[in-house]
Chains A and B, each alone.
Chain A
Amino acid sequence: MRLRNKLTLGAALVGVALWFVSAAKPLDPTEWQSQPGDVLRGEQVFNIGGCASCHMEKGAKGEARLALGGGQAFATPFGTFYAPNISPSQAGLSNWTTLDLANALLRGVRPDGAHYYPVFPFASYSRMEPQDVADLKAYLDSLPPVSRVNQPHDIPFPFNIRRSLGFWKLLFLRDTPVVESAEPRGQYIVEGLGHCAECHTPRNILGGLDKGRWLAGAPNPEGKGRIPNLTPGGDLANWSVEDIAYYLETGFTPEFDTAGSTMVEVVENLSTASAEDRLAIARYLKALPVLADAPKP
């Protein structure tokens, strides 16, 4: 804990020193190119991206999953964050352009130029295709408006200095592939849009993903248990590609045990993806560098 304090203090000092490089770096509007968005394709992007899981009301089922008023609390080592309203209302995104959404997803930048906190997984979404952003925008605009206004994040010093996130981004925000893969679609979903690594990869002391332990499992931020190792060095060693795809569709393991915890939501989302996308995810995972489970604490 003392080491952690020293390091975080150090990080804060460096952040101040690098004030001039810590500015938000939005996309160049003249280079942004996308066709008008397609609502149906956007629905697929929305489901694979798992947007509802965080932006709906906690535990919402059925149609209520599409009321994206935000408000869910996320307790992290850096403070408690409250999901924002992303419905098409004044309290949400009704004034946003597609470029605004692209800046949020690809660069972690708000329309007013401030940084988002990486609890919003832009460090994965940074790999999204521009057309997927445009399609997602079209779909979000088609959802019901929710007027709910959410409370501000509850974050202690020094993490409440948004500017310091520019430094975090210098260290951890990349839009390049993480591992070599012969499965581009699976790679796009797992490393980018589906942001699987955000939970399945352990984080370093600054909250960046430890790419040396890519998808090798991590402590559960909600406390109990561990988030599973997805490389062939863990429990998935004995799962076939079809087993993984079936799990993502139905939530049943090859032993016919059921998915648990937050993975229930992920399965709900991915069950609406195409069978080919689920197989692509599975093929990417089966070809990952083999990493053994971390020793039990």
Chain B
Amino acid sequence: MRLKTMILAGIAGLTIAASAYGGGHSPVSQRQAAMKAIGGQMRTLGGMAQGKIAYDDFAVISALEIMRTAAASAQPLFATEIDSAEETRAMPAIWAADSDFDARIGQLIASLDVAIAAEPADMDSYRPLFGAVAGTCKGCHEKYRAPEE
């Protein structure tokens, strides 16, 4: 089960990653695609945490793996500030000297690793793991994402 889970999740992750980061896009739109991919998985994971979607441990691991792939690919895309006319909600504070943005993406990835390694079999073990992942989204958006126009 563990091996099959990993293989399937890996395939799913690669598929999403390939479609999200296809060549020819600017770093800004690649960043946004990565965040969208993360958001899409959060809908599945959050729906299960809310009890709106029936709990499925396989779907959880798949979603977490995809999020991890997307988060890991987003991290280098945020490494330097890009001077671009594209619309972005990324705040300049991300690239300020005292920024902890990179550490925060690191925390997201770490929280995903913990959740994936735990292989939560039921809702009770899943909920706190999901809470830890979701908390990293919120904290970072609060600090580094501008409000919508």
| Chain B contacts for A255, CB-based, 8 A | 39, 43
Residue of A nearest to B41 (CB): A256
User: Is A252 on the interface with B (CB-CB < 8 A)?
Assistant: yes
Across the interface, B42 reaches (CB within 8 A) one of A220, A251, A256, namely: A256
Tell me if B43 and A224 are in contact (CB < 8 A): no
| Chain B contacts for A225, CB-based, 8 A | 147-149
Q: A250-B134, A252-B46 are in contact. Are A258 and B148 (CB under 8 A)?
A: no
Query: How far, in Å, is B72 (CB) from chain A's closest CB?
Result: 20
User: Is A116 on the interface with B (CB-CB < 8 A)?
Assistant: no
| Chain A contacts for B42, CB-based, 8 A | 252, 256
Interface segment among B1-9, B95-103, B135-143: the answer is B135-143
User: Is A28 on the interface with B (CB-CB < 8 A)?
Assistant: no
User: Is A246 on the interface with B (CB-CB < 8 A)?
Assistant: yes
Q: Main SS of chain B's interface residues?
A: helix
| Chain A contacts for B88, CB-based, 8 A | none
User: Is A260 on the interface with B (CB-CB < 8 A)?
Assistant: yes
| Chain B contacts for A220, CB-based, 8 A | 147
Residue of B nearest to A220 (CB): B147
How many of A's residues come within 8 Å of B, CB to CB? Answer: 16
Instruction: Mark contacts of A235-250 with chain B using CB atoms, 8 A cut-off: 1 yes-contact digit, 0 otherwise.
Output: 0000000100010001
Query: How many angstroms between the C-alpha atoms of A256 and B67 in the bound complex?
Result: 13
Tell me if A260 and B147 are in contact (CB < 8 A): yes
Query: How far, in Å, is B47 (CB) from chain A's closest CB?
Result: 8
Residue of B nearest to A257 (CB): B39
Residue of A nearest to B142 (CB): A264
Q: Main SS of chain A's interface residues?
A: loop
Tell me if B141 and A258 are in contact (CB < 8 A): yes
Query: How many angstroms between the C-alpha atoms of A8 and B147 in the bound complex?
Result: 31
Tell me if A260 and B141 are in contact (CB < 8 A): yes
Q: Which of B21-43 contact A (CB under 8 A)?
A: 39, 42-43
Query: How far, in Å, is A255 (CB) from chain B's closest CB?
Result: 6
How many of B's residues come within 8 Å of A, CB to CB? Answer: 16
Query: How far, in Å, is A261 (CB) from chain B's closest CB?
Result: 5
Across the interface, B138 reaches (CB within 8 A) one of A242, A246, A251, namely: A251
| Chain B contacts for A256, CB-based, 8 A | 39, 42-43, 45-46
Across the interface, B50 reaches (CB within 8 A) one of A246, A258, A259, namely: A246
User: Is B121 on the interface with A (CB-CB < 8 A)?
Assistant: no
| Chain A contacts for B45, CB-based, 8 A | 256
Tell me if A224 and B146 are in contact (CB < 8 A): yes
User: Is B145 on the interface with A (CB-CB < 8 A)?
Assistant: yes
Query: How many angstroms between the C-alpha atoms of A242 and B51 in the bound complex?
Result: 11
Query: How many angstroms between the C-alpha atoms of A250 and B39 in the bound complex?
Result: 15
Query: How far, in Å, is A264 (CB) from chain B's closest CB?
Result: 5
| Chain A contacts for B141, CB-based, 8 A | 258, 260
Instruction: Mark contacts of B114-137 with chain A using CB atoms, 8 A cut-off: 1 yes-contact digit, 0 otherwise.
Output: 000000000000000000001001
Query: How many angstroms between the C-alpha atoms of A76 and B50 in the bound complex?
Result: 39
Q: A255-B43, A256-B46, A264-B142 are in contact. Are A224 and B149 (CB under 8 A)?
A: yes
Query: How far, in Å, is B40 (CB) from chain A's closest CB?
Result: 9
| Chain A contacts for B147, CB-based, 8 A | 220, 224-225, 260-261
| Chain A contacts for B149, CB-based, 8 A | 224-225
| Chain B contacts for A251, CB-based, 8 A | 138
Query: How many angstroms between the C-alpha atoms of A251 and B140 in the bound complex?
Result: 13
| Chain A contacts for B146, CB-based, 8 A | 224
Query: How many angstroms between the C-alpha atoms of A250 and B147 in the bound complex?
Result: 18
Binding site for B on A (CB under 8 A): 220, 224-225, 242, 246, 250-252, 255-261, 264
A-B contact pairs, 11 of them (CB 8 A): A224-B147, A225-B147, A225-B149, A246-B50, A252-B42, A252-B46, A255-B39, A258-B137, A258-B141, A258-B142, A259-B138
Q: A258-B138, A260-B141, A260-B145 are in contact. List 8 more A-B contacts (CB 8 A).
A: A224-B146, A242-B50, A246-B50, A255-B43, A256-B39, A256-B43, A258-B142, A264-B138
